[in-house]
A and B are shown apart, each in its own frame.
Chain A
Amino acid sequence: MRRTLFLAAVVLVTSFVFAQSFIELYLNSSYFGRRIVVERGPTNKSRIEMVYRWPNDKIVHVLDPVFLVWARRSGLFIMGQPNNYRNSPLEILDLEDLFIKQLREQGITKLEKIDKKYKVTVDSPSGLFTAFITEEGLPEKIVRVFNNVTTELVYEHVEVLKEGFEEVAQRYGIKSAEETVNLPNEIKLILSTVNWYTVSRLKIGDEQVVMIIANHKSGSVIKMVCSSKDVTVNTEQNEQLLRIKGKDYYLYVIAQDQSVLEQVKSLLTKER
């Protein structure tokens, strides 16, 4: 009995050590890949991309549906097209970045070895992630299921990347951008507290405005209306409204949850 328990402990410790080393290998890998992203749910979207990934940096060349390049360099984000790059005030995170983020925060929920690859499951507030990673630490597929929306990132080709960031960046004409996209700071701060958002154009009176509907990390819905002029924003009975006047814009924050609105107020006050 004692021997059986000892053997079980050895197997457990060995698997844990192997799992750790394989995860470390994956997190520290540099690779080039061609991949397809498909999102199915109330709305569908898909992308075809080429990705160059280093442990901390990334260059993604989106081929379809738009021709666009975005890059992460030392925590800063740049996006645009060759010779027209601008700093992105918001983080740009693909499904792999979100998986790694949750992997680091939540840890592995379940680990399985299937043939020569690992199936890693991470259950997180941002969704249930399942990743298939080879023994060499290269990704094959990452799937997220969240609120009836399934997002799949499938790598059709992956190879070890020997070039450095600067070499690839030079090829794409990526330099440190001089200009930053003009995004009201309040929107940036509020979007840092949400899981996802949708954006649409809306007409209020004679004014064309932008409506952002986001899912706050607390689970409640938060809306923002950005306008260049002061407009009358109608709210439901259970909604609270916060009006902010910026330099050349007006922002209206609408929340159903009073505590969420208080959080937003506190966040904005702290940053001013």
Chain B
Amino acid sequence: MKKYDAVVIGSGASGLTSAILFSKRGKKVALLEQSDHLAPLLSGFDRLGVHFETGFHYSGILGKDEAGGFLFDELGIDAPVRQCQKEDYDVAYLVDSKRSFRMPLGVQNWIEQLNEFFPHEKEGIKKYFDLVKQTIDATPFLNIHKRHYKNEEFFYFNADKKTLKEVLDECFKTDEIKSALSFSTSLYGTPPSKSSFFLHCCCGAIMYESAWKFVGGARSFVNACKKVLDRNGVDIFLSSKVNRISLKQDLKVLTLDNGQQLECDFCISSIHPKELIKIAPPEIYRQRNLDRIKNTAETPGFFISYAISKNPQKYNISNLAFLKSADFLNDHKDSMYINFSENLPQAVQFSMRVNSNSKQWDMPRDEYKKTKEQMMQKIKSIVNQYRPDIWENMNFVEQATPLTMKRYTNYYGAYGMMHSSNDAAIMPITKIPGLFLVGQAVVAPGLIGAMISAFLLDKMFGLRK
């Protein structure tokens, strides 16, 4: 049986980060991935020679002198990023007032533009952005690059459970602006009434100051990580799904579905906590804790239709969302947006929020086909209502549903477990010494949240020494 100091299960953003950090501590590390290539969700896919992004489009704070850039440096990865430009960033079409709100970059620009669009909300706009700044400034892991925090301070989470909805209701009088400012909840999967304002700041509001893309797409990040893994001698096991984790004294024994077994001192799971408890020894948690994890809600799923634009001219938009004032009150339940790639021919994605309940997707093949057709019709009717010029220029090539998501990630929701302000946080530790959790469920969803979870585990290691 092969023995490692540390085995990391799952090769998404947190798995890659963890594997690099453990190898940097001089540990002999193995990284396991069930798919036949690293980080399938981040890596995207190609159809007819056109690349489609699936897991990552853009993020805040990836710049050199921001938290994300600092994390890349710490990992030693060379993943080139570029700032989104004003003309290729998000546009919200405000359906009720028939206005296009081109999302600005830079907090000051946000304030000015919102003041212009919503002159009667000036006071609230100032209050909202003051609260955002206070919260971001007071969060150690969003300021990890400033290096003045003690290691312990990273473990004091903001525990104010005030929801985003409560804060927006306090700041603003009308729903249209609340809808515009809460649309970014779609980027982390916890709707305004359930998302704490703190989570919103960590995942959505960090993009007011700056938004970044990877040059060459998110697979550049994966490739950059792969280089470091190879250099540090990390063994990568592809097509290797873990069936069972068992204990042999202090060692964790991982049995793969091909029967192979690996032994390790430290096992780091980056998979969905609900999946981990299926394969882990029962003593991983107390029963009540297990029940709590089992009962935690999933983030919503997406039905996505992928297309290639036949238009020889580029659409100078990155994301286009159709927003109704009522979307705020119904938690963006019917949210729909279109995403355009930056290169010609343009890869275009039509994403519509759908139910991520596993039972919903447990259906016979022909019914599944029919469901997809219905969803396609629904998207078509929405797009044609506002932008018929877009729909008629599309060559549709592929579709994805929460079931597709499940094939690659084992879960149906777009961002795994929901971080509802009423639910308990998932801790990086378990009852089994040496068995740890990282990933979107631990700190926050998204690339930054996933990477930070791995850094927190690494800091915890440093502290224990």
Whether A associates with B in a native complex is: no
| A residues lining the B interface (CB < 8 Å) | none
